[in-house]
């Protein structure tokens, strides 16, 4: 697994933890920063994970608006928390990180959904991100 793939998974852990604990992403990011400082063996994936989460925090309203606007029949609050986190990461990468091609952001999100979510999630994540990528391309 590449360092960026590990970082995406760590960022998902942070966003998921915030979601299920009822914390803000900032609180969850701070707690994970303290854990990361105590675990130097995980240091290589932490900077990009932190960048992803901070990127989501900085653009949360726009990212959630894009997800909600392109999700037919699935309001953001009805989505599984893991899918919501995966989508938030992928939308941030596709829209705000020019180093990550949109196709890579989608592929990585689908892989996370395959590994960590329901059987239906990879198809849902792929379809939703494909629709969002059209919005991203015109932005």
CATH number of the domain that residue 98 is part of: 1.10.940.10
| In the chain, % of residues over pLDDT 70 | 96
Confidence of residue 8 (pLDDT cuts 50, 70, 90): very high
- pTM to 2 decimals? 0.94
Give residue 67's domain range.
3-138
Neighbours of 139 (CB within 10 A): 9
102-131 burial by CB neighbour count: b if 16+ within 10 A, else e? beebbebbbbbbeebbeeebbebbbebbee
Count of the separate structural domains present in the chain: 1
- Per-residue pLDDT tens for 28-76? 999 998 888 888 777 778 999 999 999 999 999 999 999 999 998 889 9
């Amino acid at each position: 697994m590449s360092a960026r793939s590990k970082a995406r998974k760590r960022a998902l852990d942070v966003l998921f933890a915030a979601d299920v604990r009822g914390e803000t992403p900032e609180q969850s990011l701070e707690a994970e920063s303290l854990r990361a400082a105590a675990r130097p063996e995980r240091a290589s994936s932490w900077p990009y994970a932190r960048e992803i989460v901070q990127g989501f925090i900085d653009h949360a309203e726009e990212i959630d608006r894009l997800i909600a606007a392109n999700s037919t029949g699935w309001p953001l609050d009805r989505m599984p928390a893991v899918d919501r986190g995966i989508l938030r990461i992928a939308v941030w990468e596709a829209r705000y990180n020019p180093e990550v091609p949109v196709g890579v952001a989608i592929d990585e999100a689908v892989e996370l959904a395959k590994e960590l979510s329901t059987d239906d999630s990879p198809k849902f994540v792929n379809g939703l991100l494909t629709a969002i990528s059209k919005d991203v391309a015109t932005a």
